[in-house]
Amino acid sequence: MSSQVVAPRIRGFICLNAHPAGCAVNVQRQVALAEQGTGGGRWGRALVIGASTGYGLASLISAVFGYGADAVALCLERAPQGDKPGSAGWYNLAEVGRAARAKGRKVTTLNGDAFSSQAKDDAVAALRALGGPVDVVIYSLASPRRVDADGKSWSSVLKPLGGTYRSKSIDLNKDVVNEITIEPASGDDIEATVKVMGGEDWQAWMDRLAKEKVLAPGCRTVAYSYIGPELTHPIYTNGTIGRAKAHLEATAKVLHAGLSPSGGGAWVSVNKALVTQASSAIPVVPLYISLLYKVMKAKGTHEGPIEQIVRLFRDHVGPGKTPQLDAQGRIRIDDWEMAPDVQKAVADLWPTITTENLLAASDYAGFKQEFRSLFGFEVPGVDYTKPVELDVAL
């Protein structure tokens, strides 16, 4: 047991620690929204790959507390060790487990590498132990790297293709608007990013679940993507990560062909830009999000991960729902972000932003607050002067 006062240790886009009580309060807020926002119907069992933070955590909470599912939740998180706190995702899933038990639901948490066959073995065994096949599989990994069974390692990179990318950005350490330069992809950058963030591992999961006969008839599976505004296209949609997302979309079509005859399906959902651990690390995105949040909050259309996923399940992939698809076959819950008036307002603000007006003209304060809140800090209702128990079991 180790109880202590925990203060944030932040370096740029990385927070080195987490506050267990703050993470628990964040989860409780999401649980309440998931319970209110259900679209009706029930799922028996859910599997969420990348379930501990961001969109995956919201998907897990929505499936369990909105649709009554028991669940297997896979993550790669750091356990608390002595006087060192665990990672935010660890504390998030500890609280999901506690809340689920209180409601008579079962959530089995697996902490391991999703790319490994061990994780797939463990998930199949955990689904069997839950007593039946899986009705919904959410693939929400955001991983910097992948190591294959033969030891070969691949690193995902965020690079433009063809030419150097220059853009305005924010230096998160100094809170100043700066200019960044990113050199184009070279060597095996594209192949490696597709390996890590493309659809190969999603397909491996679905093939494995089918082979083990743990897919329920009518099983639905969804993976997440992002498109965003033209100003980020060179580094995102038209860059190395965009190639991986294109591969994810192609994989959805292959999986859909296998699942649709029994009434199921596979889709990519294009989601809104959000402050998460993954997105904060993408150059330019923190500045774009600061402007986007300013505009969407003023319009009353701002959503966080739980609001997005509640809407995704209620309108598109929940039990009995028929997804509405765009011309490329994707679900679009980024529709409010991409609304022409929102995009025009952001594009008009973009050239006017300087270090001096950053706080007044954008929601950079909201970005920073939300970033800290990802790790359980600055969460309303938490007394940060009190010691808190770090040794929380999953």
Q: Can you give the binding site for ligand NAD, defined by CB under 6 A? A: 50-56, 74-77, 89, 113-115, 140-143, 224-226, 271, 273-274, 276-279
Q: Is the CB of 31 or the CB of 306 nearer to ligand NAD? A: 306
Identify whether the C-beta of residue 94 lies closer than 8 Å to the C-beta of residue 131. Answer: no
At its nearest, how many Å lie between ligand NAD and the CB of residue 36?
22
Identify whether the C-beta of residue 99 lies closer than 8 Å to the C-beta of residue 28. Answer: yes
Tell me if residue 91 is catalytic.
no
At its nearest, how many Å lie between ligand NAD and the CB of residue 378?
18
At its nearest, how many Å lie between ligand NAD and the CB of residue 383?
26
**Cα dihedral across residues 341, 344, 350, 356: positive or negative:** negative
Q: Which two tokens stand for residue 120?
A: 């797939």
Catalytic one of 236, 288, 293, 364: 236
- Placement of tokens 């599912």 in the chain: 69
Q: Is the CB of 40 or the CB of 169 nearer to ligand NAD? A: 169
Q: Which two tokens stand for residue 374?
A: 């990802």
Residue number, nearest CB to ligand NAD: 54
CA 42 to chain centre: 23
Q: Is the CB of 331 or the CB of 360 nearer to ligand NAD? A: 331
At its nearest, how many Å lie between ligand NAD and the CB of residue 314?
18
Q: Is the CB of 55 or the CB of 65 nearer to ligand NAD? A: 55
At its nearest, how many Å lie between ligand NAD and the CB of residue 1?
25
- Placement of tokens 């379930």 in the chain: 51
Identify whether the C-beta of residue 321 lies closer than 8 Å to the C-beta of residue 39. Answer: yes
* Helix 340-349 vs helix 285-299: crossing angle, to nearest 10: 130
3-state secondary structure of 82: coil
Q: Is the CB of 46 or the CB of 356 nearer to ligand NAD? A: 46
Q: Is the CB of 116 or the CB of 218 nearer to ligand NAD? A: 116
Q: Is the CB of 74 or the CB of 190 nearer to ligand NAD? A: 74
The upper half-sphere exposure of residue 317, i.e. CA atoms within 13 Å in the direction of its Cβ, equals: 30
3-state secondary structure of 328: coil
Element (H, E) at 72: strand 70-75
225 beta partners? 270
Beta strands in 81-237 (DSSP E): 107-111, 134-139, 145-147, 153-155, 165-171, 176-182, 215-225
Q: Which two tokens stand for residue 323?
A: 């997804």
At its nearest, how many Å lie between ligand NAD and the CB of residue 89?
5
Pairwise CA distance, residues 56 & 46, whole Å = 12
Residue 357: CB partners within 8 Å, gap ≥ 6? none
End-to-end alpha-carbon separation of the chain, Å? 15
At its nearest, how many Å lie between ligand NAD and the CB of residue 55?
4
Element (H, E) at 361: helix 358-361
Residues marked active site are found at: 236
